[in-house]
Structure 1
Amino acid sequence: MNSYTDVEKKLWPKYREEINHSRNTVEVEGVFTMQVAELLSEILGEKIYSEDVIFHPQEECFYRFTEKLLKNENFKTAFESSDLGAIIDRYAHSANSRYVHLSKLPEKTNSKIKRH
């Protein structure tokens, strides 16, 4: 089994900072999809776009991938034979926690946006 925790550790600090500074739920979604795309790009050695990653905070699994990405043989191999799923799960749980927090405070979030 392959392990990509070294890539995760390299990207995690930037991700945490961006998630923690997200001002609304739309920003959380954008940070998550861009970061997972960056993670996949680095692991697969090919450009993966944020549009291929879908954040679903209301679902049991907080993310999905497009059919295009699911048909990518490099992606399938990496996802099935490594800890990649667990890494993305950690990213997703972090994003979902921030998403839930911000969705509970919409008036506060909106007032912060207006001030900036």
Structure 2
Amino acid sequence: MSRQHSFTRIENDLLPAFRLKLGLAESTEDVRKFFGYAMADLLSKVFEGRFPAAYEDLTLAPVDDKGFAASTRLQEFPEFEAMWTASDLSAIIGRFAGVAVNRYRHLEKNPDKTESKMYPTPDRVGQGRQP
């Protein structure tokens, strides 16, 4: 019988900050960025430095059924396949992706926050700043 690995402790450490960042996201691009950095952090902790995780290794893919896509570099890493099948890593990444995709779709349907960031109204420019 093979040994099962569980990474729920790492998930529980990363999830609160990830949810907070998603709540602050002002655009769909912010959501993609926060997901990429969170997944790089997750992979770094899972592989304990044996794999130099990068932002591009796991990307948000809202149109995909899984909600994410793994890079070729990650898929070719020898330990990845073994860890993917012998642990809860796929479920954890799926949960992170689910949260991110929900936020992505919300911002996509309600672009008000993004537009206010990109195109501020002239009467609000500089408000809240003291000379």
Aligned residue pair count? 116
After the TM superposition, which of the residue ranges 55-64 and 20-29 deviates more from structure 2?
A: 55-64
Structure 1 gaps of 5+ residues are none
Task: Give the Å deviation of 1:113.
Answer: 4.3
Are residues 1:35 and 2:38 paired?
A: yes
The AA in structure 2 aligned to 1:11 is L
The structure with the largest helix share of the pair is: 1
Matches within 5 A, 1:1-116: 1-46=4-49, 47-115=52-120
Q: TM-score normalized by structure 1?
A: 0.92
Mark the structure with the bigger radius of gyration: 2
CA distance in 2, matches of 1:70, 1:106: 34
Q: Deviations over 1:55-101 (max 9, x none)?
A: 11112121111111101112222111000000001100000000000
Structure 2 gaps of 5+ residues are 126-131
CA distance in 2, matches of 1:36, 1:45: 14
RMSD: 1.5
**Off by >3 Å, runs of 4+ in structure 1:** 112-116
